[in-house]
Chain A
Amino acid sequence: GAGVSQSPRYKVTKRGQDVALRCDPISGHVSLYWYRQALGQGPEFLTYFNYEAQQDKSGLPNDRFSAERPEGSISTLTIQRTEQRDSAMYRCASSSIAGGPEQFFGPGTRLTVL
């Protein structure tokens, strides 16, 4: 398909483990965004990239969270030493820099920390 893909779709891990969430944006999209969504709430911004450059990481909650996009395409969001409060839906979106403000979202990764 031509949409944003994320893997894994579901991840269950134990407290203290590291997890890596992957996002594959729409081909050719320059901008890539990470959001986190708690149940019953709207997505909350974490960080975003233009090409491989991280433009804004103001939404990352603490230094256990990091993201990279080394070749300007696929991105990985890493959470180290996971805690139960990290449990949420993690959403990735991408957009064309030549387009409007709209961002196109993937299906998300549901992270559960036991």
Chain B
Amino acid sequence: DQQVKQNSPSLSVQEGRISILNCDYTNSMFDYFLWYKKYPAEGPTFLISISSIKDKNEDGRFTVFLNKSAKHLSLHIVPSQPGDSAVYFCAASVGAGNKLTFGGGTRVLVKP
């Protein structure tokens, strides 16, 4: 049973516009949520995280929103740039330092 789900396998967006990636989870014990970005032939790269005591965390063009009641998080990228084209994974853990449970990924294509 998948505990972390990314229901959109792909997303296409125009350069300069907002990219919104969604992630749903089922395990209410998760208290840390992370987003990773992955280019072909490379390992996943950490982007941004949020703990369950917050509902928003921002880092430059990237903002993560957490809705605990809906067990839903989203990643906003504003403005989107061609270099943002990659696969994005959301992940969650119970406690910092424990195993990460990943979603299946969303492929983002930013068109110039």
Contacts and interface: CB of A to CB of B under 8 A. Distances in A.
A101 B34 CA distance: 8
A106 B46 CA distance: 11
A107 B91 contact: no
Contact of A106 (B34, B43, B49, B101): B43
B44 A101 contact: no
Contact count band on A:
20 to 34
B49 A100 contact: yes
A42 interface: yes
A100 to B, nearest CB: 6
A42 B97 contact: no
Nearest to B43: A105
Interface in A3-19: 4
Contacts of B11: none
A45 B101 CA distance: 7
Contact count band on B:
20 to 34
Interface string B40-52: 0111111001010
A105 B45 contact: yes
B10 to A, nearest CB: 11
Given A35-B100, A100-B32, A101-B96, 16 more contacts: A40-B104, A41-B104, A42-B102, A42-B103, A43-B102, A44-B102, A59-B99, A91-B43, A91-B44, A100-B49, A101-B34, A101-B97, A102-B46, A103-B46, A104-B46, A107-B42
Interface of B: 4, 32, 34, 36, 41-46, 49, 51, 89, 91, 93, 95-105
9 contacts: A33-B100, A42-B89, A100-B49, A101-B93, A101-B97, A101-B100, A103-B100, A105-B36, A106-B43
